[in-house]
Chains A and B, each alone.
Chain A
Amino acid sequence: MSSNKKYWKSVEELDKNSSIVEALKNNEFVEEIPTDEFLGNNDALSSSSTSRRDFLKYVGFSTAAATLAACEGPVNKSIPYVLQPEQIIPGVADYYATSVFDGFDFANLLVKTREGRPIKIDNNTIAGAKFSANARVHASILSLYDSMRLKEPKIEGKNSTWSAVDSKIKSSIADATAKGGQVVLLTNTLASPSTEKLIAEFIGKNPNAKHVVYDAVSESEALDAFETVYGERALVDYDFSKASLIVSVGADFLGDWQGGGFDSGYAKGRIPKAGKMSRHFQLEANMTLSGAAADKRLPMSTANQKQALVHIYNIVTGSSVAVSLEDKFKAEVTKAAQQLKAAGSKGVLVSGIQDKNAQLLVLAINQVLASEAFSTSGVRQIRKGSDAKVTQLINDMKAGSVHTLIMSGVNPVYTLADSASFVEGLKKVKTSVAFSLKEDETALVSTIAAAVPHYLESWNDVSITKGTYGITQPAIRPLFTTKQFQDVLLSLNGLTGTFYDYIKANASTIIAGSSWNKVLHDGVYVGVVPTVSAGSADYSAAANALAKSKASQGLELVLYTKTGMGDGQQANNPWLQEFPDPITRVSWDNYVTVSNADAKKYELSNEIVANGGLNGSYATITTADGAKLENVPVIVQPGQAVGTIGLALGYGRKAALKEEMMVGLNAYSLYKGFDNVQSVTLAKAGGEHEFACVQGQKTLMGRGDIIKETSLEIFNTKDAKEWNEQPMVSLDHKLVEATKVDLWDSFDRSTGHHFNLSIDLNACTGCGACVIACHAENNVPVVGKSEVRRSRDMHWLRIDRYYSSESTFEGDNERKENIAGLSSSLSTFNEMEKAGDNPQVSFQPVMCQHCNHAPCETVCPVAATSHSRQGQNHMAYNRCVGTRYCANNCPYKVRRFNWFLYNKNSEFDYHMNDDLGRMVLNPDVNVRSRGVMEKCSMCIQMTQATILKAKREGRAIVDGEFQTACSNACSTGAMKFGDVNDSEAEITKLAADERMYHLLEHVGTKPNVIYHVKVRNT
């Protein structure tokens, strides 16, 4: 970014005629340095008693003295509290229950604080706390310590005070009232009873005021449809655990569809119990998390999805609306629809099509099914935005009828497709106020940039679903001179007191039968959950209208939000930037995903270059009305529906970002009419993009001992030996199980604790919450895009994603088995390296496997890595000399080497390089230095803390107490942790389960991480 700012070095420069300025321009010093005085006089020089040799001696002596002096240890200061707060004991963590809703993400949380600073987000597991944190919420703790935050309010770009801001807003509103101009509050969806009450009071006092709700990523059509039928602007809180058949038409419900947070319910139905598990059909264009988890995935364009939806509607309700569904889909869609109908109340259909008619059909189908998963009690209130009202507002602004615009929690200049007309309208607004964490795109062009506190520094309340109530409480004092939007509103309403008092007073009307202190302690309160009853709507008209919708010309662009970035609020968060996308495994970028067929058509390609990095072509995307996005990097995505391309929102931000974070392109500019589906043309552009992709290998190539997969039918009917095959080896010419053969004498681990971590591949959706939780707990450094590209990422926990080459992994296995001869093997393996057009996808979280017979331990020349009786493979960083033998000898490639010093190093300008960012570090875990190997410790600091707590309290440990950061973060229950020496523990049962297997069992490492065979209900 170029800047026209002029910097003055001294006041002298302001005076154009100053001779000093003129002199300084040419010379470093104004006056000549009188070197002649001592150099010119030869006599003085020769008579000097200090010879050149003496001088060198002095230099040598002082250097040596300084070096010797440096050998002494530093003097550390310890500063105790003057008045120690009662609840804070240095060295002991405190937890605060809170709930968060930032306009996009929501969760019920426990915030772990140490010495008064929040360091980690955990899930609140108390009854009633339903929503667990996703990767972005886990990472939000780092956004609290973002050094680029707005630190004080600004008026017209200049630092100002809150009193000035308050009086300016007040006078502007008074002026608006006098002149008859509109006062508009433009906010994100609030879902906060107290804030909404406050806004209602504000509008009551100012009749010229109105409130517009704007969601950056719109769910407006679904809201409109629900409002039409149920009379309330809300979304259904589906409970997928109650469904035995799930049909999703373009809804990535395991991702961010309608706010997300459905994964824990979904996963409950996915673990085979008594031979039963849910079946999941997914019709979608982009490859999503839901598509990856589905039993049957049909890649199809949104236009086809619309027809398919009408087709399903026909079959389920017995209507006969004419549809033009392509023949190749007909059979599969019919099959899904018939099974859905047969499932009845155990079936559910969801759709992400941004079309009111489509959303009406979803309601119609679920009503006819009387679906249990589709429950209208306790509807979601986390999306309320109205596209029409936002469009109206922009028109009003351009017409000059908006006098004062107060924005909170929104960044329309960045997130609106037609940002230019918003900015144009903003110029006609007399006073615009942007309440924002950052001096973002909108704050930069607003009159007032009002600094707000982070949610971990503020009071608020939130009602995520109707009938539940949660309190957002601060876990730290505000770091900067910030003020909440609500506190400003309070003073505008002429009320005294703080927003805290206001919430407390308001809460008393909501939390019947409970007390403020209890709700504050629990974080949530569940009251009477109201059910909304259905009205009527003309469904057949909707079906007819939808069936008549035309397929778009050219390619269909489907915009989506990435698991790591969401709507882009936290673009300056290095954890999220470095978080590899679960599907593409690419970090630090957004890109256009194209299908294999389209890639060939447009001559786009991906290739892995000599240094192991992934390169890709560039493309230019042009929408129907001429909006253009140039040089978009291309990822060829297996499973992408032919004729569609995908592009993630949330990238390409430039304001209030560190330079390293300014990655990707702003796809919001193509988000025309709040429709995530756009008709576009694609053209190849010159040049090659360098990706930071952490997984070069795409397919499993029939290596059935890495991911074991089977179908429910085989699982139910065949013996475990057939679908969970034990590797066999020859011992004394007899075939024996590989696990029975051993080079080593086994150590007795039957006493004390013996930890195992279980990962159920059926329940894992690849959401990545564990990856970020691991980062936060273990002080894992961020290394940046170019280092990730060099395969030097430091993630202790990665989630491998595998595609199949055939349509199923089983198909891959068979093909591999059938290879005969060398030439056939060469050609077959070559082909199997390429993922299929609609591959099966599997996720597999891999961290240090904590092998009982660890190959890394035997090769360490300094015994820096050693084994414990508790099953954990230890890593003594201070002992490590960095030979990297261990990493070479590890069959799982889970060891990470510190190639550089990642903290206090300006070359790695992420959170560990500033005082503020370092506040997030966990004081119980060492920050590693350069030249040291590191890896997953199975959160030994947490297991040790649990043991110590029990010892102090003089009691045995109960099952469930032992946790790791990843198992704590896992909302689906895919990761379970515990002590296998406790015969009653859940983990002991999981370890004895017939689905259990070890990764690369034939190597004989005897890992303490166990996996469970993935079963698909095909």
Chain B
Amino acid sequence: MKKVGNHNSISRKLFFSIALMLSFSFTSFAQEATPAADASAPDASATSQSADPVKGKELFNANCAACHKLDAKSTGPALRGVSAKYDAAWLHKWVRNSSDLIKSGDAQAVKVFEENNKAVMSAFPQLSDGDIDNIIAYTSEPKAEVAAPGPGGAEVPGKPAVDSGISNNIILGALALVMVILVVMLFLVNKVLSKVAKANGIETAPKAPTTPIWKAFARNQFLVLVTAIFLLLASGYFVYGYLMQIGVDQNYQPIQPIHFSHKIHAGDNEVNCKYCHSAARVSKNAGIPSLNVCMNCHKNIGEVAETTATPEYSKAFYDEQIQKLYTAVGWDKTTQSYTGKTQPVKWVRIHNLPDFVYFNHSQHVTVAGIECQTCHGPVQEYEIQKQFAPLTMGWCIDCHRKTDVKMEGNEYYTKIHDELSKKYGVDKLTAAQMGGLECGKCHY
């Protein structure tokens, strides 16, 4: 468990100095890693040969990807190998204006229309034949083999950092070994020397019998007293520290029913926190998003990209999590429709404020404009969400003492700001000066 704020000063210093020492070795390895990553980039681009599918990919992503995937059914059918099924001229007509084609009674068009739940495809009159051919070329590319991550595979970004961690340990281990060898050598040298001395008949002066150090210590009452006081203080310090962390669940990181990675969502894909936690703007609860919010995106994102996989979590693992969402919300991937059978997800609550504390997200998020990360930590880097802050009263109060209230442009504060700034003789007012330390503001 973590220590409470005022206790970690010594340990923090210790930790800091070790960290400082280690950081040198880190940076040196990171520098080595960068050129390696750069070198791999041209390789990737070199694999693409034909120009058509590249343009096609651009066009596909701009126009088609909202409803089509290459290898899986989405709103529209999977498009890989579509040119094999239909002739190009028909496809041109279909893409330009499919509903006209259906209305004209084209048998194939009607069939396609009905096979896809009669979903009307938007018309793309702006696409030239060449454009459509480019897209077809892209869809006709063979499916790339999944490069198995692991031994022999391409270097995964981030791996060098992991390697440097290991080598650090090795270096430390080696150093320790050297030390041990040194000690052993010294001991041996000493032994040899004394043997030599004995052999040469040199008498080493016998040690005068002295009082053992512990007896001397016990006799020195002053030292005993000082030590006793020190021990008592030290144990008091640790007992207090232990007691104060009871009920403080900092770094609580429970296993959730669905492995939801904030890193992928808020970090890699830069989804705004408040897109999913929209209630934080207006409510006391930030709110766990309802599953329909997930489905806004995941209706189309049925699997993760190859690049999302990490050595720790494979693509198959992430895809399974998305499947869990589909099961919970009752989405049938094959028919692209809701089955109506739902299983609400039972998340494990991470931030548990006691009942006697009133906390309102909207006050902090909307009114004060505080970043979510201030209290929740670098969420965008968390693979698994955890409790960042201790959520103790001291922690709240500290922030209320330090933080200036954001009053600009808020008419509510106009009058009180004028009066209080005159009273305290300051321009900026902290939450504490506004009365943010009063018991009843949070306890009722």
Contacts and interface: CB of A to CB of B under 8 A. Distances in A.
Nearest to B409: A954
Contacts of A940: 440, 444
Given A80-B345, A83-B292, A954 B412 contact: yes
Contacts of A925: 444
Given A77-B349, A79-B346, A955 B412 contact: yes
A351 interface: no
Nearest to A945: B360
Contacts of A899: none
A937 B440 CA distance: 9
B236 interface: no
Contacts of A75: 254, 348-349
B203 interface: no
A748 B422 CA distance: 13
Nearest to A948: B363
Given A89-B282, A952-B282, A80 B444 contact: no
B344 A80 contact: yes
A82 interface: yes
Which of A80, A925, A956 has the largest number of chain B CB atoms within 10 A?
Answer: A80
Contacts of B233: none
Interface stretch (A223-231, A833-841, A872-880): A872-880
A937 B442 CA distance: 12
Contacts of A954: 409-412
Nearest to A873: B440
A760 to B, nearest CB: 27
A489 interface: no
Contacts of B284: 91-92, 924
B415 A956 contact: yes
A91 B438 contact: no
Nearest to B410: A954
Contact of A748 (B249, B355, B423): B423
B328 interface: yes
B335 interface: no
Given A956-B411, A957-B412, A79 B345 contact: yes
A91 B285 contact: yes
A572 interface: no
A78 B367 contact: no
B292 A82 contact: yes
A748 B330 CA distance: 60
A751 interface: yes
B291 A78 contact: no
A76 B349 CA distance: 5
A73 B363 contact: no
Contacts of A927: 355
B414 to A, nearest CB: 7
Interface in A59-118: 71, 73, 75-84, 89-92
A236 B54 CA distance: 85
B103 interface: no
Contact of B360 (A948, A955, A957): A948
Nearest to B328: A82
A322 interface: no
Given A751-B416, A926-B355, A948-B363, A82 B344 contact: yes
Interface in B410-426: 410-416, 419-420, 423
A91 B281 CA distance: 11
A874 B439 contact: yes
Interface in A26-82: 71, 73, 75-82
Contact of A80 (B288, B360, B414, B439): B288
Contacts of B345: 79-80
B352 interface: yes
Nearest to B357: A878
A319 interface: no
Nearest to A874: B440
B5 interface: no
A533 interface: no
Contacts of B416: 751-752
Given A80-B345, A926-B444, A878 B354 contact: yes
Contact of B283 (A90, A748, A864): A90
Contacts of B411: 954-956
Contacts of B328: 82
Given A83-B290, A948-B362, A951-B412, A73 B438 contact: no
A870 interface: yes
A956 B347 contact: no
A309 B288 CA distance: 68
Nearest to A953: B412
Which of B279, B416, B444 has the largest number of chain A CB atoms within 10 A?
Answer: B444
B440 A750 contact: no
Contact of B291 (A76, A83, A948, A950): A83
Contacts of B356: 876-878, 926
B391 to A, nearest CB: 12
A167 interface: no
Nearest to A954: B410
Interface in A873-929: 874-879, 924-927
A414 to B, nearest CB: 41
B366 interface: yes
Nearest to B413: A951
Contacts of A752: 416, 419-420, 434-435
A939 to B, nearest CB: 9
B173 interface: no
Contacts of B330: 82
Interface in A832-881: 864, 866, 868-870, 872, 874-879
A73 B440 contact: no
A705 to B, nearest CB: 29
A514 interface: no
Contacts of A870: 435
A944 interface: yes
A73 B348 CA distance: 13
A751 B367 contact: no
Interface in B425-444: 434-435, 438-441, 443-444
A927 B440 CA distance: 15
A941 interface: yes
A78 B344 CA distance: 10
Interface in B285-344: 285, 287-293, 328-330, 342, 344
Interface string A933-946: 00001001100100
Contacts of A864: 439
A90 B409 contact: no
A721 B362 CA distance: 49
A868 B439 CA distance: 8
Nearest to B280: A91
A868 B435 contact: yes
A941 B444 contact: yes
Contacts of A78: 288, 346-349
Nearest to A941: B444
A937 B441 CA distance: 11
A748 B433 CA distance: 13
Interface string A945-971: 001101110111100000000000000
B369 to A, nearest CB: 11
Nearest to A947: B412
Contacts of B287: 80, 89-91
A866 B439 contact: yes
A956 B285 contact: no
Given A927-B355, A951-B363, A954-B411, A751 B346 contact: no
A66 to B, nearest CB: 17
6 contacts: A77-B348, A81-B292, A89-B282, A89-B287, A751-B416, A940-B440
Interface of A: 71, 73, 75-84, 89-92, 748, 750-752, 864, 866, 868-870, 872, 874-879, 924-927, 937, 940-941, 944, 947-948, 950-952, 954-957
Interface of B: 246-247, 249, 254, 279, 282-285, 287-293, 328-330, 342, 344-349, 352, 354-356, 358, 360-363, 366-367, 409-416, 419-420, 423, 434-435, 438-441, 443-444
The 4 closest A-B pairs by CB, nearest first: A874-B440, A91-B283, A84-B290, A91-B285
